[in-house]
Chain A
Amino acid sequence: MKPAPFEFVRPASLAEALEVLAANPDAKVLAGGQSLIPLLSMRLAAPGMLVDINGIGELSYVRSDREGVRVGALARHAEVEGDARAREVQPLLGLALRQVAHPTIRNRGTTVGSVVHADGSAEIPVVLALLNGRVAVASSSGRRDIAAADLFLGPMESSLKHDEIAVEAFFPAIEHDAGVAFDEVARRNGDYALCGVAAHVRVSGGRIVSVRTGYLSVCDVPTVVDLTAAFPDGVVTPAALDDAGDLAVAALDPVSDIHASAVYRCRLVRTLTRRVVVAAHEHAMSRVGAEVS
């Protein structure tokens, strides 16, 4: 349970880190390490070199404005979770962060690291996908943005190239007519969820105009489903919620593992979809109501 030997560099600037990364195809970036170090210790990963970016202070920030929340690569989950402005600009981020492992892990783990680790059972990739967010990545040849829809290729596989570092994640602000909610079921507090669902609902004139949900721990990759068709009358009824569950299950391909069968996951999908759609709808109505009065 000890990592295999590796070379270690701790650059003081992003430019230096990118140079080292470009010159060493077998290098891996270390930020919070709360996923990477267990992988090294269990020898599921054995990179030849680690590039520790913890010394690059310029990457440690959480900035919020009317457009959304920008999270730098070194911002710890706990910092983002504790940022009052970020919670206001996009409440879904804080709701989901509370469910990421334990507070002790959130003190070290980074939000951007969680995005690019691309674990299908992690909360933050689902939030980024549901909100149509993006990551900014840098390499020695420049910068580019990757939309969430183009980011998650497979289990723990992102579309970043080996010489790229994700320097920032962007979570768009909640729209004035939208509500959000998050819920998950895990065997123990802080464990990986057996199923987790995030919801985003928009209303207009008191009626639902859009319902989208994102799922973690159900498929290999974070998966977003549009459930608007289940609400043709624009209202939440028991029948519409049943239809939403049917639509969700039809769009997903739940996996069986030692923690839960696919059949059980389907039940969780239905139950949690119902809960978060109801909660996000209430949230949207309360926000629109507050706006009117």
Chain B
Amino acid sequence: MTEPLHDVRLSVNGVVHQVAVPARRLLSDALRHDLRLTGTHVGCEHGVCGSCTVLVDGRPMRSCLMLAVSASDYEITTVEGLADEDGSLGPVQQAFKECHGLQCGFCTPGFLTTITAGLEENPSPTAEEAREMIAGNLCRCTGYQNIVASVLRAAELKAPQP
């Protein structure tokens, strides 16, 4: 038996894609398998680890907890969409590089998207607020110290220069 396919419009990082997917295709799998945007990582696949976090109309959501067929109304931003227009690192990416905010890098895409949205909401977090911002994302390498430092550094990089 072949599964029926649904035509779905996915607008990702400003580019509109047309894909045909089974209803059960998770958004995370549609991004990775159908669009070949493999920057979004899949860890636990039940909403706990945060690796698959993408921005849906600017707000962080778990792409493993959404169906691709439910995602056509939204503008989706993945980690591939976080670089500046000239291809140089965005402020959160730059901060992670400077502060050694990653080791193996598996969890990093979810942190970058979560922090990008978090700094929109709170542009100058305290260390405690930075910790709260990343509390929904798991990292097994860094012990989080350098990720908290990266949040604070990214806030500095994003702040308007005097």
Could you list which residues of chain A lie within 8 angstroms of chain B, going by C-beta atoms?
1-8, 10, 30, 33-34, 37-38, 40-42, 50, 52, 54-55, 78, 101-105, 107-108, 188-190
Contact = CB atoms under 8 A, between A and B. Distances in A.
Contact of B64 (A30, A41, A189): A41
Contact of B56 (A7, A10, A107): A107
Among B29, B56, B64, B135: residue with most chain A CB under 10 A = B135
B135 A102 contact: yes
B136 A190 contact: yes
A108 B135 contact: no
Q: Enumerate the 10 nearest inter-chain pairs by beta-carbon distance, A residue then B residue, closest first.
A: A102-B136, A8-B23, A38-B46, A189-B135, A3-B24, A1-B45, A107-B59, A104-B60, A37-B65, A108-B61
A52 B50 contact: no
17 contacts: A3-B24, A8-B23, A8-B67, A33-B67, A34-B62, A41-B45, A41-B46, A50-B67, A52-B70, A101-B136, A102-B135, A103-B136, A104-B50, A104-B60, A107-B56, A188-B135, A190-B135
A5 B23 contact: yes
Contacts of B132: 189
B62 A104 contact: yes
A6 B62 CA distance: 21
Contacts of B22: 5
Given A5-B23, A37-B67, A41-B46, 7 more contacts: A3-B26, A5-B3, A8-B23, A38-B46, A52-B69, A108-B56, A189-B135
Interface in B18-48: 22-24, 26, 29, 45-47
B116 interface: no
Contact of B61 (A1, A38, A54, A104): A104
Among A38, A104, A189, A190: residue with most chain B CB under 10 A = A104
Contact of A38 (B59, B65, B70): B65
B93 interface: no
B114 interface: yes
A38 B24 contact: no
A168 to B, nearest CB: 21
Among A7, A38, A55: residue with most chain B CB under 10 A = A38
B71 to A, nearest CB: 10
B119 interface: no
